[in-house]
Amino acid sequence: MTTENPLDPLLALMRAHFATAATAAASAESARVLAALPGPGASLAVPLTDSAHPLLAEVPEAARAAGAGWAAELPPLAARLPWRYSYAPRPDAPGLETRMAWAELVGPAAPIRSDAVGFGLTFITRGTFYPLHRHPAVELYAVVAGESEWTLEGETRLRRPGDFILHPSGALHAMRAFAAPLLAIYSWSGDIVSPTAYV
């Protein structure tokens, strides 16, 4: 007997969006990640559990901005996604853990197990700055909703839904959400086990 994976409709949206990367570097990385993802119907290694993360209050707005498919699929599932924030507290950003988080859907410790790639959603509530950080993993982001400011190795650019941002291994990066919450898809490849760290 096969069990329907409740993440499949959302993962289908994420895969479809991730496949639209246009630049050579982003499309090469997205193709690598998409090829490594387990297919639809992959079983859940850990069950989904209820979350009460404060960012959930802004998810419906971001999902509406992202389009009909996201508006239909994301809000009903959002409170069952594994939202996580793994940094130690920062004196210069009190309460940051209540204003941003990521939900890894595929990865070494995610509901859908993969030792090759991480694939999930990052959510940053309006007006929130995610400070400079780095990690050994190669990271590809796809902005789904929210005009935002992205810094990579000292260069800051405005990014909009549809944009892709590739963070090479070890590169310093930061993001800031403006008046609307930022919803983005991310992938990790390469060394996906070593943690991310603030600088």
Q: What letter would DSSP give residue 34?
A: H
Q: Which of 69, 36, 56, 31 shows the shortest CA–CA distance to 164?
A: 31
Pick between residue 127 and residue 195 the one whose CB is nearest to Fe ion: 195
Q: Do 62 and 136 contact (CB within 8 A), yes or no? A: no
Beta bridge partners of 122: 102, 184
Pick between residue 81 and residue 140 the one whose CB is nearest to Fe ion: 140
Tell me if 104 contacts Fe ion by CB under 5 A: no
Q: What letter would DSSP give residue 58?
A: G
Tell me if 139 contacts Fe ion by CB under 5 A: yes
**Burial class for 75, CB neighbours closer than 10 Å (0-12, 13-18, 19+):** middle
First to last CA, the chain: 48
Q: Name the minimum Å distance from CB 149 to Fe ion.
A: 15
Cα–Cα distance, 133 to 199 (Å, whole number):
6
Torsion, Cα 17 22 25 29, to 10 degrees, reads: 20
Q: Name the minimum Å distance from CB 8 to Fe ion.
A: 26
Pick between residue 73 and residue 139 the one whose CB is nearest to Fe ion: 139
Which residue is closest to Fe ion by CB? 139
Q: Name the minimum Å distance from CB 63 to Fe ion.
A: 22
Pick between residue 61 and residue 173 the one whose CB is nearest to Fe ion: 173
Q: From 26-34, 51-59, 116-124, 135-143, give the range in contact with Fe ion by CB under 5 A.
A: 135-143
Q: Name the minimum Å distance from CB 72 to Fe ion.
A: 28
Tell me if 73 contacts Fe ion by CB under 5 A: no
Pick between residue 61 and residue 119 the one whose CB is nearest to Fe ion: 119
Q: Name the minimum Å distance from CB 134 to Fe ion.
A: 7
For Fe ion, the binding residues (CB under 5 A) are: 139
